[in-house]
Every structure is written in C-alpha cells, then in structure tokens.
C-alpha cells in the first residue's frame, strides 16, 4: 500500500498517511508532483508492452515536464546485482534534473529530505512521482527488489547521482 511517512532527521516517525489524496496534497505542498494512475492490463510487463499500455499518460507527462526521453526499468529480486543496485541509491544524493518514475508494478521507497524532515514515500503499483532537480533524496528498493518502472528524463546523461555527503540516510536504512 502506498504510504507517506513523515520522520525527524534521526528517524523518529511523526506521522503516516495511506490516503492517496492526502499524500498528493502533502507532497504538492512541498513542490513534489505525485499522482495515482490505476494500473492497467499488465499480464505482459515487457518494456514495449508497458510503454504502449501507458502511452497516453506518458505523452502527457512528457509534455508537461518537457521530458525528452522515456524508458522502462525492471528489477527482479533474483537479479544477482540486486544488492549492488540497491546500494547505489541508498546514500543521500541530488540530480541536476528531475527524477520521474511511474511504478507499473512492484514498489520502492523514495526518501525526500526537506525542511529538516524526511518524507518517506513508499511507492507501489500505479504511483507516479517527480522528485525535482536538486532535492536531496535517496531510494531504497529493498532487500528483495521488485519493480517495473517507467522513467522519464530531460536528458538521460544528466541523470547522475551527486552525493551530498550527508549521512542522514543511515538513520533509515536497515540491513543495507
């Protein structure tokens, strides 16, 4: 279930919400675009099938955000590189462009470090989130990662993690 959890920087939970309208409103107040799009027929989760299932939504997101390119990334728990992939995004970082994801299947948690608090957005199927360029954040795909996500980029070359050096993520990630 999609959940937004508000925490102090040292990992103490201050509030939690599961209503997507509330989640959307709370994130919008922070400048984060969150939307829910009910998942469609996803018996075929190959990238081309996912792209065509969501083409109308993808067109709209591209137009709205000026995103030039789109792809579909798929991570399975039995991927031998799963621990390495998980580790790659577990430290706080920023990007010079928005990090835009739509979860067609599976889940993952974005941790947004804003206003001296941490907002953990546990994204599940049907969730769209755009983390604005320059927002300190990290992403945990979990110990047994599984997701199929559409990614939108202004410039795929710009989507590089620049680590902030802030150790705050260590207060949130278990068994990493």
User: Which parts of this chain interact with Fe ion (CB under 5 A)?
Assistant: 99
Instruction: Specify the residue, 97 or 99, whose C-beta has the smaller distance to Fe ion.
Output: 99
Tell me the CA distances in angstroms from 138 to 82, 111, 131, one per residue in order.
Answer: 16, 5, 10
Q: Sheet of 137-140: strands edge to edge?
A: 13-17, 3-8, 117-123, 108-114, 137-140, 93-94, 162-163
Nearest distance from residue 94's CB to Fe ion, in Å?
8
Tell me the CA distances in angstroms from 37 to 8, 41, 77, 143, one per residue in order.
Answer: 30, 13, 25, 26
Instruction: Specify the residue, 53 or 139, whose C-beta has the smaller distance to Fe ion.
Output: 139
Nearest distance from residue 56's CB to Fe ion, in Å?
26
Instruction: Specify the residue, 99 or 127, whose C-beta has the smaller distance to Fe ion.
Output: 99
51: nearest Cα among 27, 69, 36, 70? 70
- Comparing every residue's Cβ against Fe ion, the nearest one is 99
Nearest distance from residue 121's CB to Fe ion, in Å?
12
Instruction: Specify the residue, 53 or 154, whose C-beta has the smaller distance to Fe ion.
Output: 154
Nearest distance from residue 144's CB to Fe ion, in Å?
20
Q: Which two tokens stand for residue 79?
A: 């991927």
End-to-end, the C-alpha distance of the chain in Å comes to 22
């Amino acid at each position: 279930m999609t959940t937004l959890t508000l925490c102090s920087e040292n990992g103490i939970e201050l509030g939690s919400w599961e209503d997507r309208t509330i989640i959307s409103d709370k994130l919008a107040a922070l400048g984060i675009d969150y939307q829910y799009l009910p998942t469609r027929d996803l018996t075929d989760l190959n990238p081309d099938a996912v792209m065509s299932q969501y083409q109308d939504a993808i067109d709209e997101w591209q137009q709205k955000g000026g995103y030039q390119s789109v792809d579909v990334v798929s991570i399975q728990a039995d991927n031998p590189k799963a621990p390495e992939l998980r580790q790659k995004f577990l430290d706080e970082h920023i990007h010079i462009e928005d990090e835009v994801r739509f979860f067609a299947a599976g889940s993952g948690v974005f941790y947004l470090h804003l206003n001296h608090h941490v907002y953990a957005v546990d994204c599940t199927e049907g969730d769209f989130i755009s983390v604005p360029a320059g927002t300190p954040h990290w992403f945990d795909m979990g110990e047994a990662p599984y997701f199929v996500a559409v990614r939108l980029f202004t410039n795929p070359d710009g989507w590089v993690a620049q680590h902030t050096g802030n150790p705050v993520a260590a207060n949130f990630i278990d068994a990493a």
